[in-house]
Amino acid sequence: MAPLLKAQLRRRNRDCSFENETIDIEIEPGQLLWLQGPSGAGKTLSAMHILGIQKARGVDATVEWDTSVLESERCGMLFQQGVLIDSLTVRENIALSLNAANLPVTSNAIKRSLEAVGLQIADQHKMPNELSGGMLRRAALCQLLAQGKRLIVLDEPFIGLDKNTASEIVSELQGLKQNGTAFLLISHQKPYVDMLGVDKHVHVFPSVGKDGPAVERSSRAAFFMRTGVKVVDYLGYSFPLILLAFVAAGFAISMLFADVLNRTDIKQHVIEVMDDELKTAEGMVKMMIPMLKKKVVSVIDARSPQLKAMLYCMGVAKLFVLELGPLLTALLLAGRIGGSYSGEIATMQATNQNRLLINLGVSPRQWSLYPTIVAALIAAPILTAVGTMVALYAGSIVVTWYNLGTGDAYWKDVTEAVFIPEHAVWQTYPPYVLIYRSMAFMLIIIALAETCGRWDPLLQPRSVPNVITSAVVLSGLCIIFADWGFSQVLLQYADW
């Protein structure tokens, strides 16, 4: 009988080490090849390399399939614990595999697939989280069989199963084996392997590294390491977003403000006010009105460019430093940091990682929340300051485009407005406002992300995107309300 698969994996460096420097695999239809070796030797990675799912570093592979077997029918992998798309029912998961293989989705096809692995017809309407461990693995195997896979890689198929369930799985696999399905088995549970009947076996051995002794890190060092990683993550990934957003906002708002000032005719407004005030004048005063208007117009003409330039500089500086800088940064980071953190927490909740930490005596909040708060409170003011400076720089370019002054004069007025304002207290001192607003907004974002991520103790993986969306939307709404509150405080203490 012609081999269904012939493969050879060759090592190129010390990332992996195989017996005699190579792994030779040859499987015929209906055979079971047992891939043996200690944990960490690279058995799963070797199998995935053959399948083309994930490449192993430092390994070259030659894979030859029986040319009479269609590529879509060659090989599939049953992952540890069994994996299904958790937002689909069992039937929809099988239909997904049939559609992917361009096979007709019929009730008979689904029924045959279910019966082949010992599942009932009624099981097709269940969600993955409603299946036991054994049923989940059967359903995952059912997906592969629905596509007519001729070789199936079994990665620890008996882990976590009781003896009766594991024996039932063995019986189902024996029936498939007798019908011509070949298996590449990865398992440490020899009794079940012996029950299946091994036709061939290949050993995989780990490489002998030359690493030095392991260095244990203290909990404090681990905390600072996790915090440092988050700081780099938040700053590095958020910087391009902040940069582009503030470039666009800086030019757009500065140009709008400059255009409004240039279009504003101060003289006309002043003359209209004078006419209203002096319309009842008599005698000498009435005779002097034309001269007074001429004098006022001349004064306005002389001082108007300077006043408009000063208004422009103070307006742009205060607008971005006190208001738009912290607000725009917070709204952007609500998506970037809030979404990232809520997704991290929700995923840990859905995959029992939080329960694992509790079981180990580690506070989940100490593990994830505290480093995130510290990293966010470091990153947010820095990103806000950088974004604000970018917007102010855009304003310095616009001021020359609209002939409102020179760049040097602009920066002089901006410096006076931001760093040496008159009658400023700490509540209104612009650099302080920028810092405490940005930090307060980040605390709101993290608090809502933490709440959304841990809200449902029975969270399922398919609900993680909903958690992220909820955290981002709620953060944005709360930031807008908080910004209004800060503005009221600023107006209360301001003495401009």
Quote the pLDDT of residue 213. Answer: 43
197 plus 340 within the same structural domain? no
Task: Report DSSP letters for 295-336, one per residue.
Answer: HHHHHHHHHHHHHHHHHHHHHHHHIIIIIIHHHHHHHHHIII
Number of domains observed in the structure of the chain: 2
242 plus 165 within the same structural domain? no
The one-letter amino acid at 255: M
> Measured between alpha carbons, how far is 490 from 10 in angstroms, rounded to an integer?
69
Find all residues with CB under 8 Å of 174, minimum gap 6, and list them: 195, 196, 197
Flag whether 99 is in a domain: yes
CATH of the domain at 30: 3.40.50.300
Flag whether 345 is in a domain: yes
Q: Give the dihedral sign, CA 6/12/16/19.
A: positive
> Measured between alpha carbons, how far is 256 from 84 in angstroms, rounded to an integer?
53
Flag whether 440 is in a domain: yes
Flag whether 292 is in a domain: no
Residue 183 CA from chain centroid, whole number: 37
Domain boundary among 183, 205, 227: 205
Flag whether 296 is in a domain: no
Range 265-269 contact pairs with CB under 8 angstroms and sequence separation of 24 or more: 266/300, 266/304, 266/307, 267/296, 267/297, 267/300, 267/301, 267/304
Find all residues with CB under 8 Å of 239, minimum gap 6, and list them: 383, 386
175 plus 323 within the same structural domain? no
The one-letter amino acid at 321: V
Q: What are the two backbone dihedrals, phi and then psi, of residue 391, each rounded to the nearest 5 degrees?
A: -65, -40
Angle among Cα 90, 457, 158 to the nearest 5 degrees reads 45
488 plus 352 within the same structural domain? yes
Q: Tokens 């855009």 — which residue?
A: 394
* Beta partners for residue 114, in sequence order: none
CA neighbours closer than 13 Å in the CB half-sphere of residue 59? 27
128 plus 252 within the same structural domain? no
Domain boundary among 205, 240, 272: 205
68 plus 29 within the same structural domain? yes
Quote the pLDDT of residue 389. Answer: 96
Flag whether 295 is in a domain: no
> Measured between alpha carbons, how far is 224 from 220 in angstroms, rounded to an integer?
6
189 plus 311 within the same structural domain? no
Secondary structure of residue 465 in the 3-state scheme: helix
Flag whether 276 is in a domain: no
346 plus 433 within the same structural domain? yes
Closest CA to 148 of 108, 106, 181, 115: 181
Domain boundary among 205, 228, 251: 205
Flag whether 288 is in a domain: no
Neighbour tally for 77: CB within 10 Å: 22
198 plus 247 within the same structural domain? no
> Measured between alpha carbons, how far is 330 from 318 in angstroms, rounded to an integer?
17
Closest CA to 418 of 325, 285, 281: 325
Find all residues with CB under 8 Å of 475, minimum gap 6, and list them: 334, 338, 444, 445, 448, 449
Dig out the tokens for 91 from the structure.
Answer: 């039937």
Quote the pLDDT of residue 468. Answer: 95
Buried b / exposed e across 277-293, counting CB within 10 Å, b at 16+?
eeeeeeeeeeeeeeeeb
- The domain of 35 spans 5-205
Model pTM above 0.85: no
> Measured between alpha carbons, how far is 293 from 270 in angstroms, rounded to an integer?
9
245 plus 102 within the same structural domain? no
Find all residues with CB under 8 Å of 30, minimum gap 6, and list them: 177, 178, 179, 180, 181, 182
Q: What is the strand order of the sheet 5-11 is part of?
A: 22-27, 5-11, 59-65
Quote the pLDDT of residue 480. Answer: 95
Tens place of pLDDT for every residue, the chain, 496 residues? Answer: 678 888 887 766 544 444 446 778 888 888 888 888 777 777 888 788 777 777 777 677 788 888 888 887 888 888 777 778 777 889 988 888 888 888 888 888 888 888 888 888 888 999 888 888 888 888 888 888 888 888 888 888 888 778 888 888 888 888 888 888 888 888 888 888 888 888 888 887 765 544 444 444 456 777 888 899 899 999 999 999 999 999 999 999 999 999 988 887 767 777 777 777 777 777 676 777 777 777 766 766 677 778 888 889 988 998 999 899 999 999 999 999 999 999 999 988 887 788 767 766 778 888 889 999 999 999 999 999 999 999 999 999 999 998 888 888 899 989 988 888 766 677 788 899 999 999 999 999 999 999 999 998 878 888 899 999 999 999 999 999 999 998 887 777 765 4
70 plus 16 within the same structural domain? yes
414 plus 473 within the same structural domain? yes
